[in-house]
């Protein structure tokens, strides 16, 4: 099944979406993220890991300084800035691929863009900080709008849906309308249904199964299923042991229309997406 194609072009960057799947490598500069918290907490460790992700084939590096796992403690603006800005400043001088800042705080996003970030990834879809939309507009960079039911502090307290995909699609229609009214160009918006954010294990599986329904929104789609708890539940594996299960979700997501996959293990994902992209095209795709 063919995916709709998109081309995002801004500043010195351009992303062609659809001909092949793009890989977003995760870099958490936090002590408490569910999968790799504390592994890359120093600037030196973070830079080394980012360069490893690039060498392994990442098309985008997504940097976050506050864990948004369920029930995670909030981080102050100053703490978050101290974690991510020096890394972005240094990394932006030595890599050519886009750097994404994973934050819902407008001041962090604004500072990150000034430091060299070129994508804003907001788990709140511009809802948590009233200044975020204007930051995105002024920056002129792509923005990832994610669906979440509730907040990281309460999102896993028995999430209930009457019509899971219908409610997610309705949420995105409203979020995109809001962004456009705030002056953000529609062609710069990417949508993420928020696997694990206000969903139970079955919800996550249903979203991946029915991912193609999101294509009707007419925007690029991102799947962030890497090492999530539902994979651990099925396989009885710790987060670090969930990469094989993650790749199964990557394949299912791409076959159902995902343009970007957000993963921890970029090397494994690179091989996985090459195969599934070749299957979609019916021929081998050049690197």
Catalogue the E-assigned strands of 65-174: 99-102, 119-122, 143-146
**Sheet of strand 119-122: strand arrangement:** 189-192, 143-146, 119-122, 99-102, 60-64, 22-28, 260-263, 222-223
Contact 120, 111 (CB under 8 A): no
Strands 13-17, 6-10: pairing kind = antiparallel
Residue 39, pLDDT score? 55
18: left (phi over 0), alpha (psi -120 to 50) or beta: left
- Tell me, what DSSP letter sits at residue 188? G
Strands 260-263, 22-28: pairing kind = parallel
Report the distance separating Cα 194 and Cα 175, nearest Å. Answer: 14
The residue among 177, 182, 155, 186 whose CA lies nearest residue 68 is: 155
Contact 224, 195 (CB under 8 A): yes
Exposure class string for 24-50: b at 16+ Cβ within 10 A, else e: bbbbbbbeebbbbbebbbebeebbebb
Residue 37, pLDDT score? 45
Q: State the residue for tokens 């160009």.
A: 185
Report the distance separating Cα 159 and Cα 88, nearest Å. Answer: 35
Q: Which of 3, 199, 228, 270 is catalytic?
A: 228
Q: Which residues pair with 261 in a beta bridge?
A: 23, 223
Residue 101, pLDDT score? 98
Mean pLDDT per 10-residue run, the chain (287 residues)? 91 95 95 52 88 98 88 85 96 97 98 98 97 98 95 82 98 98 98 96 98 98 97 96 98 98 98 96 80
Active-site residue flag, 270: no
Residue 168, pLDDT score? 98
The residue among 137, 136, 131 whose CA lies nearest residue 105 is: 131
Contact 253, 245 (CB under 8 A): no
Report the distance separating Cα 65 and Cα 114, nearest Å. Answer: 16
Residue 120, pLDDT score? 98
Strands 143-146, 189-192: pairing kind = parallel
Q: Which of 105, 199, 262, 270 is catalytic?
A: 262
Active-site residue flag, 74: no
Sketch out the chain's domains with CATH numbers: 20-279 (3.20.20.20)
Residue 61 CA, chain-centre distance (Å), reads: 10
Report the distance separating Cα 123 and Cα 121, nearest Å. Answer: 7
């Amino acid at each position: 099944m063919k995916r709709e194609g998109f081309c995002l072009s801004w500043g010195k960057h351009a992303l062609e979406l659809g001909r092949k799947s793009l890989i977003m490598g995760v870099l958490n500069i936090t002590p408490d993220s569910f999968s790799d918290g504390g592994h890359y907490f120093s600037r030196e460790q973070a830079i080394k890991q980012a360069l490893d992700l690039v060498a392994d084939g990442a098309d985008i590096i997504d940097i976050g300084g506050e864990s948004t796992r369920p029930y995670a403690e909030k981080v102050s603006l100053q703490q978050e800035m101290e974690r991510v800005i020096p890394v972005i400043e240094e990394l932006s001088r030595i890599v050519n691929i886009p750097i994404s800042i994973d934050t819902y705080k407008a001041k962090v996003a604004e500072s990150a863009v000034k430091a060299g970030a070129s994508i804003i990834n907001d788990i709140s879809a511009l809802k948590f900080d009233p200044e975020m939309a204007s930051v995105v507009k002024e920056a002129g960079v792509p923005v990832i709008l994610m669906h979440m039911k509730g907040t990281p502090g309460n999102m896993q307290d028995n999430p209930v849906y009457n019509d899971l995909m219908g409610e997610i699609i309705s949420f995105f229609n409203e979020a995109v309308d809001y962004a456009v009214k705030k002056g953000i160009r529609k062609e710069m918006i990417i949508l993420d249904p928020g696997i694990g954010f206000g969903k139970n294990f079955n919800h996550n599986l249903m979203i991946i199964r029915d991912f193609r329904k999101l294509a009707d929104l007419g925007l690029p789609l991102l799947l962030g299923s890497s090492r999530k708890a539902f994979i651990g539940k099925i396989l009885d594996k710790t987060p670090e042991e969930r990469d094989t299960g993650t790749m199964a979700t990557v394949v299912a997501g791409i076959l159902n229309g995902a343009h970007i996959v957000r993963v921890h293990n970029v090397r494994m994902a690179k091989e996985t997406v090459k195969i599934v992209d070749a299957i979609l095209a019916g021929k081998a795709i050049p690197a």
